[in-house]
Amino acid sequence: MSTQDTSRRVPADLANHVRGVAIRPVDFQQVDVAINLNEGLLTFIEQYYDAIGQRLNQQGANVVPFTVDELRRYVITLIKSRVMWVRNERRIPIHYSERVVVPAFLNFVLSGIGRVELPDLGIELIPQFFESAQGSVVSTEVIDPQVEQPVAVSQVMSKEEAIIFSNKLKPLSRLGFEFAEGYARDKTGVLDLMVLQMIEDTILSHTDKSHPAYAVAAYFLGLLQVTNLLGPRVLYGTREQMRMILRLVASE
């Protein structure tokens, strides 16, 4: 005669008593996900700029119509604008409705940046743009070679500057470069991206559900949760692996 453990079965009378209990989530705890632009962004910018120069050279043009620093500032401006829009901040450099061109990979990344709710944990992940984080390439100070003193320099373009630069990028579509126009109006992010973190030389997550492509985006953005409520335990690759993949993406 077999016996079954019934100790975990809810008694019928208890089930009746709790039937009217309302089950609903309480307020979500907001967790900032830091975007600390560093070597990932520089890797993409430098490779993308080289790819532009190579294709122009194949067409008989010897000069790229903008500098690598202008390209860097433009990409930074788009990322910061997306984050500010998601966070409902004012004075956004580039509004989502502006018809500026966005390189295909950057459009993929921007679409993933946004608010993500984790109902089971009572957490809402929100992107936060960090300009003063260690190693950031968005520092507002540079050394003036004339006086050897740091001077304030904006790393974010004005709307007018961004539009002018966008018009320099548009003709590159004839060379095979793909672009989108503007960035997404929807403030919801992609879970696969927002749960990833770059910790030292690895990209980690608390889950194995994210698509590996988002690990490249996380490396590009330098993602890190400010309050680490989601324990990172799943490896999504190393810094060096992501750097190699990002170079390939930037060259295509």
What is the secondary structure of 132-174 as a DSSP string? SSTT-S--SEEEETTTTEEEE---S--HHHHHHHHHHHGGGGG
3-class SS string, 66-100: CCHHHHHHHHHHHHHHHHHHHCCCCCCCCCCCCCC
214's torsion region: left (phi>0), alpha (psi -120 to 50) or beta? Answer: alpha
Q: What is the pLDDT along the chain (252 residues), one digit of tens a residue?
A: 455 555 678 888 888 888 888 777 667 788 899 998 888 999 999 999 999 999 999 988 888 999 999 999 999 999 999 999 999 998 899 998 898 999 999 999 999 999 999 888 888 999 998 875 545 566 544 434 443 444 444 688 999 999 999 999 999 999 999 999 999 899 999 999 999 998 888 998 888 889 999 999 999 999 987 766 777 789 999 999 999 999 999 998
Quote helix, strand, coil % in the chain, to nearest 5: 40, 20, 40
d(CA 223, CA 81): 17
Stated length of the chain: 252
pTM over 0.85: no
Ramachandran angles phi, psi of 126, nearest 5°: -130, 130
